[in-house]
Amino acid sequence: VGIIVETGSGVHHVNVGDRVVLPFGTYAWAEFVKAPAEKLFALSPASDPRQAAMASINPPTAILLLNEYVRLQQGDWIVLNAGNSSVANTIITVAKSRGIKTAAIVRRAEAVETAKQAGADVVVVESPTAVQEVKEATGGATIKLGLDAVGGQSSAILAQLLGQGSHLVAYAVLSGQPMVVSQVDLIVKRLNVHGFWMYLSEYLPKLDAAVREADSFIASGSINVPIAATYSLHAISEAVEHAIRGEKVLLDFTV
């Protein structure tokens, strides 16, 4: 995210002083950059600039994952793993705004509270009994969409929870392990399995609208991803070491 300091003569929809999210393809590791004006829009003055700095990654991912595979209605359930992650935080927020219920699976007991604070309706620790726990907590509801950020056996848990003709979408691989899905779920349930990457050509035209939608959530405070620390570029080594520990850190190029 940056602040406009100069515009071209034909630019009228944004002004000097407006805070904007840099469009995809703009190299942002600098104090000053030139960006195409037609791809910019002014963020709400109420938007926290630190949250806005993440608006081009997590929120569009969350919005597209919820939009692209299933036509979800109010009261529908989705299930996701890595339920305490930054992306999960945003998925849960957007889903809740639409009346969609979320079952979040986390890998550690210490992560349960983070997912609950994000607003997940059900939070379960990954274990051999996780499938039964989610089924009991959701009242045996049909779950139409599973969002997999982990891979490995975590994928199998999501697949077991999904209903007939449902969709399982892999968008990250935190475990480093290949996705595991039982043939029974594929054959009997006719499960649909997808891979998602936001920067595929089919999604790029949809990013601007997703970022604009995200800005409304950020301005209202609905999206409020926990940020562990902010570093200057001079402390990049420390920032990387901190990020590797699994917490969200930001870089500030103004200091």
Domain harbouring 160, CATH code:
3.40.50.720
Same domain, 101 and 160: yes
One domain, residues 179 and 88:
yes
In this structure, the answer to whether residues 157 and 242 fall within a common structural domain is no
Q: Decide if 180 is inside a domain.
A: yes
Q: Please give the tally of structural domains in the chain.
A: 2
Query: What is the reported pLDDT for 84?
Result: 93
- Yes or no: say if 222 and 93 are a contact pair by the CB < 8 Å rule: yes
For residue 77, what are the β-bridge partners?
A: 101, 143
Residues of the chain predicted below pLDDT 70? none
Same domain assignment for residues 13 and 33: yes
* pLDDT at site 29: 80
Residues 48 and 127 in one domain: no
Q: Does residue 154 share a domain with residue 99?
A: yes
Do 21 and 72 lie in a common domain? no
Domain assignment present for residue 201? The answer is no
pLDDT on residue 56: 85
DSSP state of 121: S
DSSP string computed for 22-87: PPTT---SSS-----GGG--BPPTTS-HHHHTTTTTHHHHHHHHHHHS----TT-EEEESSTTSHH
* 38 and 94 assigned to the same domain: no
| Structure confidence at residue 226 (pLDDT) | 84
CA-CA distance, 61 to 117, in Å (whole number)? 20
The reply to whether 110 falls in a domain is yes
Backbone angles phi, psi at 197, to 5 degrees: -140, 120
Domain-embedded: residue 200: no
> What pLDDT is attached to residue 96?
96
Residues 217, 125 share a domain? no
Are 221 and 190 contained in the same domain? Answer: no
31 with 150, same domain: the answer is no
Same domain, yes or no: 37 and 119:
no
Give the CA radius of gyration of the chain: 19
Q: What pLDDT, on the 0 to 100 scale, is given for residue 58?
A: 87
Q: pTM for this one?
A: 0.87
Domain, as residue range, for 27: 2-56+206-252
Residue 224 lies in a domain: yes
List all residues 6 or more positions away from 68 whose beta carbon is below 8 Å from its beta carbon.
Answer: 196, 203
